[in-house]
A and B are shown apart, each in its own frame.
Chain A
């Protein structure tokens, strides 16, 4: 039932509204709306009940294990939300932040400092509203750097084939051509290909480390040396920072520019698809190009830096200061954890992933890289099962929903056929992981004894498997009476 089905002409949620309408005769007739907008006419209880019921159709971290690889679906501490929603923060108009928001700017300044330290970079800008926007900002800074040196022949960005789709998309938005670098058998960048690919046209390389294959890139220092020697720069996609938080710093690996996903590593809520925050960090040479605004501390007072202070900045990415409410949540989280707590994040995320990987290998699942340590995530391949039992990774994922688990990422990275990328995160207990292992084993048996049940999964969710082809062919994107 849609909210529109609750609608009855003349019904309102009166308590919410100004008591009466105001005179609009000063708005010329020809600029006015003739027909009221087709919004639902419902009571407050109708609305509360409808959306409460809708919420109950979702799987979420608060209700289920959500082992979605490369997304770091860890527990979102409630206190982060409570404090970010203090009226002193929530009620602040963006134009008031400097004159009346010294407390807010202090939080943001401290967060810049914390992220700088934990990433080993020279400075951080909190401006990007999401990881993809951080990527855009990072690549734009690389470009600004080369252009400032009049090194304009560099028109290519190297991207490993295991990279997130956003990497090539961001490079293209910055006007670059993308050259894919393959992966070797152990999950590392194919060094020989890389060596042949780098040269005077290389603007830089975008890397995720640990990579999306769930392993640490062993040749990272060699890659850095090779790319730097050719005059290129190294971009760090922070999607997997959770695996090494507080233990290994991207700056120490030789990266010139990074973005962090605070909605992953710093546990801000994913909110059904956003908001995120994608701060960028840079080494000394990219400092002048950081996106605005930045928070500065001068004689104990905080202020926003603008174009006047940073004339070489790549500019602004949103109308105001990025996703401030997300940044506040990340700040609270960082203060709760502190130095020790951050290191523990990496340690226990890694422990959980390796435990899960070992137990699943022992149960007969095939790992993409059985001889490697898992980072905070790992890949299983269902290629054999798909071939022998006609049960695909997707079928398997759907059947997990019936066992009360959200499904891992499927069919990514693209280079491993029939794959599942599993990331348990550090906030899950051994008992929860054991429950997941048990479900995996049961589904595996089921795939052998009654594969039909797996192929037709899910069976217990609010809807059964949906027809995506129909959705794309017979587009129905809005409700029409």
Chain B
């Protein structure tokens, strides 16, 4: 029996101890007509050899494309040691560290993770992670509404330069909380938040301003001016940031005079494989004043009865298992295994490595764009600085172009027509440190062939 160790003898001894004649008898409190087992139609079980064959055959139907897409998920090199260690059974098969004394490995790792994320974002504290970047932003919006006591309006300015699906997720999650989400348009020439559209909200009750950096188009927002605007208008600043980029660009804690209040984002770039969209993890950091409004698990250092340093979950009075309906969120776990990988990843890369990765992503995307711009009808849609993604306009509908590129084994980018039809045929492209000069040239040659055929 798969994964069931009982011998026939064990079963009879156990039943005898219970005083039952069969296992079925143990279900005798359940009305017989609810016991539906005969009607459950499922395939028969398989042994390990059979299941490996089945899944390998299915996997073979997938094709791995040469990836030039980002749009919230990035192909980075993951050092071999990261998942070798993260999938050790002691990390892989443990649970939320309720018994701190028997979970010091996970707890210390989370404390180290919190330290690294707070350092990366330039903020005071970090939680132990949320589900992903999008749901993390939704939680940040809810948190800002709780934390900004000066604001009564429950009004969030959410620019169109924030990832379009993140905005959808925010809408889904905050829908029943009487929160007003105001979309801010972007500047046609730069693909950045238009400062003039913010002016219309000056002096009004705004709870928080969301600032993406880099934004969904890859463009770098003028974060100092935006954060200062928020501070002057008593609005909190919620930064949505790419963690790789933080090796190069100004951390949220240093934005403007005051710094951002909350920073969140997608942690996937830190050692988590693409895996078709998940599992990833969302990170969240904030000023220490807001700790009681923060959702999710938090680990703190303390001492044991002998005075030795140790780690435990803390500030749990915010959480659902204690506060139930009055909790800051219904979340009851973090994305532990992904955070384990991310912590090992950041330790291996260090400040030098992360900076090299970030700068190489930036350089590769710059070279990609330069290469693509030589193709007739292709060019950058926005001026201004970008990090590791850029928008290029095409002379033909992006959907068709992407399909042709896929035939040639290339994932050519993200079709912006889905969420930004006003841009015309346009692709969001990305070349991380994993792309070589040859890859970039191959992409450009394929695109040229498709567009000039």
Return chain B residues, CB-CB under 8 Å to A325.
Answer: 273, 275, 278-279
Q: Per a CB cutoff under 8 Å, which of B18, B42, B75, B247 touches A93?
A: B75
Q: Per a CB cutoff under 8 Å, which of B14, B75, B116, B305 touches A355?
A: B14
Interface string of B14-38 (1 = CB under 8 A from A): 1101111001101111110011110
Provided the pairs A31-B220, A61-B89, A248-B35 are in contact, do residues A87 and B6 lie with their beta carbons within 8 angstroms? no
Return chain B residues, CB-CB under 8 Å to A336.
Answer: 2, 45-48, 51
Q: Is the CB of B26 within 8 A of A79?
A: no
Provided the pairs A30-B224, A37-B120 are in contact, do residues A91 and B274 lie with their beta carbons within 8 angstroms? yes
Interface string of A389-405 (1 = CB under 8 A from B): 00000000110010000
Return chain A residues, CB-CB under 8 Å to B29.
Answer: 215-216, 218, 372-373
Q: Is the CB of A332 within 8 A of B55?
A: yes
Return chain A residues, CB-CB under 8 Å to B95.
Answer: 66, 68, 71, 73, 270, 272-273
Provided the pairs A27-B249, A274-B336 are in contact, do residues A75 and B61 lie with their beta carbons within 8 angstroms? no
Return chain B residues, CB-CB under 8 Å to A441.
Answer: none
Q: Is the CB of B94 within 8 A of A338?
A: no
Q: Is the CB of B320 within 8 A of A16?
A: no
Return chain A residues, CB-CB under 8 Å to B325.
Answer: 168-169, 171-172, 178
Interface string of B340-357 (1 = CB under 8 A from A): 100110111111111111
Q: Is the CB of B101 within 8 A of A463?
A: yes
Return chain A residues, CB-CB under 8 Å to B128.
Answer: 273
Q: Is the CB of B13 within 8 A of A170?
A: no
Provided the pairs A39-B351, A271-B92, A465-B101 are in contact, do residues A340 and B44 lie with their beta carbons within 8 angstroms? yes
Return chain A residues, CB-CB under 8 Å to B62.
Answer: 88-89, 92, 100-104
Question: Which of A405-432 touch B at CB < 8 Å?
Answer: 406-407, 409, 412, 426-430
Return chain A residues, CB-CB under 8 Å to B24.
Answer: 347
Provided the pairs A89-B59, A274-B335 are in contact, do residues A429 and B46 lie with their beta carbons within 8 angstroms? no
Q: How large is the interface on A (under 10, 10 to 19, 20 to 34, 35 or more residues)?
A: 35 or more
Interface string of A3-39 (1 = CB under 8 A from B): 1100100011100111011111011101111101111
Q: Is the CB of A409 within 8 A of B46?
A: no
Interface-facing stretch out of A226-234, A311-319, A446-454: A311-319
Return chain B residues, CB-CB under 8 Å to A133.
Answer: 131, 135
Return chain A residues, CB-CB under 8 Å to B92.
Answer: 60, 62, 76, 81, 269, 271
Q: Is A86 an interface residue (CB 8 A)?
A: yes
Give complex CA distance A366, B96 in Å.
28
Q: Is the CB of B124 within 8 A of A478?
A: yes
Return chain B residues, CB-CB under 8 Å to A185.
Answer: none
Return chain B residues, CB-CB under 8 Å to A104.
Answer: 58-59, 62, 276
Return chain B residues, CB-CB under 8 Å to A355.
Answer: 14, 17-18
Q: Is the CB of B314 within 8 A of A471?
A: yes
Interface-facing stretch out of A46-54, A280-288, A380-388: A46-54
A293 nearest CB neighbor, chain B only: B277
Give complex CA distance A321, B131 in Å.
12
Provided the pairs A165-B327, A398-B101 are in contact, do residues A16 and B353 lie with their beta carbons within 8 angstroms? yes
B385 to chain A, nearest CB (A): 5
A401 to chain B, nearest CB (A): 5
Give complex CA distance A17, B77 in Å.
9
Q: Per a CB cutoff under 8 Å, which of A77, A164, A174 touches B3?
A: A77
Give complex CA distance A120, B28 in Å.
21
Q: Is the CB of A478 within 8 A of B362?
A: no
Q: Is B262 an interface residue (CB 8 A)?
A: no
Q: Is the CB of B44 within 8 A of A338?
A: yes
Q: Is A201 an interface residue (CB 8 A)?
A: no
Q: Is the CB of B223 within 8 A of A31?
A: yes
Q: Is B177 an interface residue (CB 8 A)?
A: yes
Q: Per a CB cutoff under 8 Å, which of A117, A321, A348, A478 touches B40?
A: A117
Provided the pairs A39-B349, A47-B347, A317-B172 are in contact, do residues A272 and B278 lie with their beta carbons within 8 angstroms? no
Q: Is A191 an interface residue (CB 8 A)?
A: no
Q: Per a CB cutoff under 8 Å, which of B4, B102, B224 touches A59?
A: B102
Q: Is B291 an interface residue (CB 8 A)?
A: yes
Return chain B residues, CB-CB under 8 Å to A477.
Answer: 111, 114, 118, 125-126, 291, 298-301, 314
Q: Is A309 an interface residue (CB 8 A)?
A: no
Question: Which of B138-190 touch A at CB < 8 Å?
Answer: 163, 165-166, 168-169, 171-173, 175-177
Return chain A residues, CB-CB under 8 Å to B359.
Answer: 21-24
Provided the pairs A354-B26, A464-B308 are in contact, do residues A39 and B350 lie with their beta carbons within 8 angstroms? yes
Give complex CA distance A38, B120 in Å.
7
Give complex CA distance A479, B108 in Å.
11
Q: Is the CB of A252 within 8 A of B34?
A: yes
B285 nearest CB neighbor, chain A only: A478
Question: Which of B356-378 touch A at CB < 8 Å?
Answer: 356-357, 359-360, 362-364, 366
29 contacts between A and B (CB under 8 A): A18-B356, A33-B246, A37-B246, A50-B347, A68-B95, A68-B98, A94-B274, A104-B62, A120-B36, A132-B333, A173-B330, A247-B35, A271-B337, A272-B103, A275-B278, A275-B279, A321-B276, A336-B46, A337-B45, A340-B44, A341-B1, A348-B23, A351-B15, A354-B26, A426-B3, A468-B312, A472-B314, A477-B291, A479-B112
